[in-house]
Amino acid sequence: MAADDITVENLRQLLHIQTELREQAETRGRKAQRVLVGLLETFAPDEVDQRLKSGRPLDSLPVEELEQLVRQHIGNQLNQAQVLLKDSQSAKNLQHNREQLDKLRSQYESLREENARLVGQIARLETERNNLLNQVTALQSAAPAYSEKSSKLEEVKPTDTEKMNDRPPEPDWMVAWRQAETFDRDSRILIMIGKTGLSRRPVIESQAAEMLGIKKAGGSLQALIMRLTDLQLIETFRPWAADGAGTGGRFPDLVRLAERGQIAYWLLTGENPSINEYDLLLERHVSPEHTLLNLQAADVLREAGYQVNLTPPDVNLPDGGLFKPDLVLIDEQGSLLFVEVERDTDKSIEQRQAKWRNFHQASGGKMFVVCDNRTCMRNIRSEINYCLGNRSLVVSLTNLADLQVGKRGEGDYIWLEVKKKGI
């Protein structure tokens, strides 16, 4: 009986334990169910809504099925997260690549700017080198041939009588001239004309007055010129197309030794006379008027302290061009300068462009221009600006008409305008 009581008691205890375990299991199941439902509500809200609409709420599902749904949806979320992670990494890589591209683009722009700067610098150095080569070429061409005929030449004396003894008899006209009362002074002036090659009558009369000690050229010198003309020793001529000169006033009479005068010069000095300056320059210039303007410009430049070469050689340029300067100067510092002499006349713009470009190339951009009047000077300034564009240069301009009435530029210089560009 006692044993039966023990067995029953044990069974009761076991049953109680099983009941408690079942209740605990059910409690844990409900907790697990709530956790799984909570996970689904968090990670699969669409699934929760769909179950509610279909009349099968998640609370009614067993834990195993809930677990399966959780695994399924969390797996999907993980897959999506991995895709997003990959996309994020791709985005990071793309951003990195963009940053690298921007950096490379910035470096490229910097290199491009530096390259452009170097190209510009090389171009400037090349231009400077070419200019220096041009100037060297011009200097080499012009300097050896430079010769200056001073306007104050020493007076040439007639040859001694003893030296004349070896010569053939003089022509009758020469013998008769020697016997004239005015022979001494007339012959001195003829020798001066033959020695200097002067051609402009006002200049000849001015130098004759200085030689003979006459304060002012006037009637006596005009009479002297007339006597030499009447004796057929000199000839006067006027090659001008019009009387009015671009510099103002009238064109002067020109003078040259006649054939008899050349013989007389040789008989008096034992030398051949110099070539008449007008005849010499006419071969180089386009007209008698341009020839005269070169002579007048040379006078002004000498008075300003320059040495002047009226017959400079042509300058062959490195690019094959040819520059024909009107005048070449040497200034007080010994620098060689090129000068163009211009009249106020119509000109072909095509030829002018080549002229100014060659001038710019030969001079290295240091250009000097003498014009006949102010209108010409303004036109030449505009023409140079048009033909040379943005080239660096220094252009010194003047005109004889203004200089003759006393006008001067800055510092009392003869150059009335000095225009600089790109310097």
pLDDT greater than 60 at residue 343: yes
Task: Kindly give the interhelix angle for 349-363 and 63-142, rounded to the nearest 10 degrees.
Answer: 90
Least confident of 41-50, 185-194, 211-220, 291-300: 41-50
Pick the closest to residue 148 from 316, 336, 283, 367 (CA basis). Answer: 336
The pLDDT of residue 84? 75
- Span 110-125, pLDDT tens digits: 877 877 887 777 776 6
The pLDDT of residue 162? 47
Q: Which amino acid is at 245?
A: A
The number of helix segments (H) and strand segments (E) in the chain equals 14, 10
- Span 237-256, pLDDT tens digits: 999 988 777 777 789 999 99
* Contact criterion met (CB below 8 Å) for 329 and 301: yes
Strands (E), 293-422: 307-309, 315-316, 322-323, 327-330, 336-342, 366-371, 393-399, 417-421
Confidence at 82, pLDDT banded by 50, 70, 90: confident
Determine the average pLDDT of the residues in 281-301: 94
Does residue 22 or residue 154 have the better pLDDT? 22
pLDDT greater than 80 at residue 408: yes
Give one word for 329, left, alpha or beta, with left for phi > 0 and alpha for psi -120 to 50. Answer: beta
Least confident of 70-74, 239-243, 353-357, 410-414: 70-74
pLDDT greater than 70 at residue 263: yes
Least confident of 16-30, 68-82, 334-348: 16-30
The pLDDT of residue 242? 81
pLDDT greater than 90 at residue 192: yes
The pLDDT of residue 290? 95
Find how far residue 108's CA is from the centre of its chain: 30
Find how far residue 92's CA is from the centre of its chain: 52
Residues 130 and 121: their CA atoms lie apart, in Å, by 14
Find how far residue 112's CA is from the centre of its chain: 24
Residues 211 and 156: their CA atoms lie apart, in Å, by 11
In the structure encoding, which two tokens stand for residue 99, read together?
A: 């940053």
The pLDDT of residue 199? 96
The pLDDT of residue 272? 97
* Contact criterion met (CB below 8 Å) for 251 and 210: no
The pLDDT of residue 326? 95
- Span 158-180, pLDDT tens digits: 554 444 456 678 999 999 999 99
Helix (H, G, I), strand (E, B) or coil at 336: strand
The pLDDT of residue 131? 61
The pLDDT of residue 73? 74
Determine the average pLDDT of the residues in 204-217: 89
Helix (H, G, I), strand (E, B) or coil at 330: strand
* Contact criterion met (CB below 8 Å) for 268 and 274: no
Confidence at 320, pLDDT banded by 50, 70, 90: confident
Bridge partner residues of 234 (DSSP): 257
Q: What percent of the chain lies above the pLDDT cut of 70?
A: 81
- Exposure on the CB side of residue 385, measured as CA atoms within 13 A: 10
The pLDDT of residue 423? 67
* Contact criterion met (CB below 8 Å) for 187 and 170: no
Contacts of the segment 214-218: beta carbons below 8 A, 24+ positions apart:
none
Confidence at 58, pLDDT banded by 50, 70, 90: low
Determine the average pLDDT of the residues in 368-384: 95
Pick the closest to residue 402 from 413, 386, 391 (CA basis). Answer: 413
In terms of average pLDDT, the best of 11-15, 105-109, 276-280 is 276-280
* Contact criterion met (CB below 8 Å) for 346 and 338: no
Least confident of 53-57, 99-103, 330-334, 415-419: 53-57
Residues 199 and 278: their CA atoms lie apart, in Å, by 6
Confidence at 2, pLDDT banded by 50, 70, 90: low
Determine the average pLDDT of the residues in 35-47: 73
Least confident of 114-128, 257-271, 390-404: 114-128
Q: Which amino acid is at 253?
A: D
Residues 73 and 67: their CA atoms lie apart, in Å, by 10
pLDDT greater than 50 at residue 283: yes
